[in-house]
Amino acid sequence: MVKEGKSDLQDYIRGVKNGIPVCLGYLPIAFAFGVAVSNKDYPLWMAMVMALTNFTGTAQFAALNMIAAGKMFLDVVFTVFIVNARYILMSMSLSQRLEDKVGILERLLLSFFHVDEIFVIAMQEKGYISSKYFFGLATFPYISWGIGTLLGGVIGGVLPEVVGVSFEIALYAMFAAILIPAAKRSKPILFTIAISIIIDCSLQLVPVVKDWPETILILIAAGISAVVCAQKYPVDVDEKEEVPA
């Protein structure tokens, strides 16, 4: 499906523009990762390799802590799997929204750059998502992920700790900027968000369950709320999965 008057290049450039906020948001997170690696006395190349081959903050931090605790191989792989299991659902979602003409090779390449924030921004697209747009979104965030890690590893030690602490909120502020306008626009989305948060908070109060990895709780809460909402407010099939207002 070709959008009227939109060339591949225009799609790519539009993606690059929409990716800029993510790129800025990533710098501090990547920076924090670079600092964490150097604080644990690991070499800079390890921080860079991890950042550029994984491109996922949560798993990188989790794995770093395990490696530093002397755990390797299967322990790390298992943790990474659990922490990033959400990508299974997210990739399914994204996969359904890609244009039909996006082939297997492009999908394999695109998967490498599939991170939370790019996913969320890509899903705001009306209608189907072109691969060019997605690559546009991913370009600068990936570069800033690398640069941030490098800077953190090299000069991390000299910045006051309060600066790093302040940047911790960036990710969540970005989530608010995505969720709130969507909730304003659509009642079912507001409903989904509310249920998801209520279930997640409730799970954190249940004995035993509250000690499970946080991602598992997130997955359970998100899964239940999406199912409940899908039953209550089914989307219009002809509207390319646009949610009802």
Residues 213-242 that bind another protein (CB under 8 A): 214, 217-219, 221-223, 225-227, 229-231, 233-235, 237, 241-242
Query: For residues 9 and 49, which CB has a smaller minimum distance to another protein in the complex?
Result: 49
With CB under 8 A as the contact rule, the residue among 177, 206, 210, 213 that binds another protein is 177
Query: For residues 11 and 117, which CB has a smaller minimum distance to another protein in the complex?
Result: 117
Query: For residues 98 and 147, which CB has a smaller minimum distance to another protein in the complex?
Result: 98
Stretch that binds another protein, among 4-12, 137-145, 147-155, 194-202 (CB under 8 A): 194-202
Query: According to the binding rule CB under 8 A, does residue 84 interact with another protein?
Result: yes
Query: For residues 112 and 157, which CB has a smaller minimum distance to another protein in the complex?
Result: 112
DSSP secondary structure string, the chain? Answer: -PPTT--HHHHHHHHHHHHHHHHHHHHHHHHHHHHHHHHTT--HHHHHHHHHHH--HHHHHHHHHHHHTT--HHHHHHHHHHHTTHHHHHHHHHHHHB-TT--HHHHHHHHHT--HHHHHHHHTSSSPBPHHHHHHHHHHHHHHHHHHHHHHHHHGGGS-HHHHHHHTTHHHHHHHHHHHHHHHH-HHHHHHHHHHHHHHHHHTTSTTGGGS-HHHHHHHHHHHHHHHHHHHSPPPGGGTTPPP-
In the complex, what is the shortest distance from the CB of residue 15 to another protein, in angstroms, rounded to a whole number?
14
Q: 221 near 200, Cβ under 8 Å?
A: yes
Subset of residues 20 to 79 that bind another protein, contact rule: CB under 8 A: 20-21, 24-25, 42-43, 46, 49-50, 53-56, 59, 63, 67, 72-73, 76-77
Subset of residues 112 to 171 that bind another protein, contact rule: CB under 8 A: 112, 114, 116, 119-120, 123, 162-163, 165-171
Subset of residues 87 to 106 that bind another protein, contact rule: CB under 8 A: 87-96, 100, 104
Query: For residues 2 and 177, which CB has a smaller minimum distance to another protein in the complex?
Result: 177
* Number of residues engaging another protein in binding (CB under 8 A): 101
Among the listed residues 24, 46, 20, the one whose alpha carbon sits nearest the alpha carbon of residue 33: 46
Query: For residues 4 and 100, which CB has a smaller minimum distance to another protein in the complex?
Result: 100
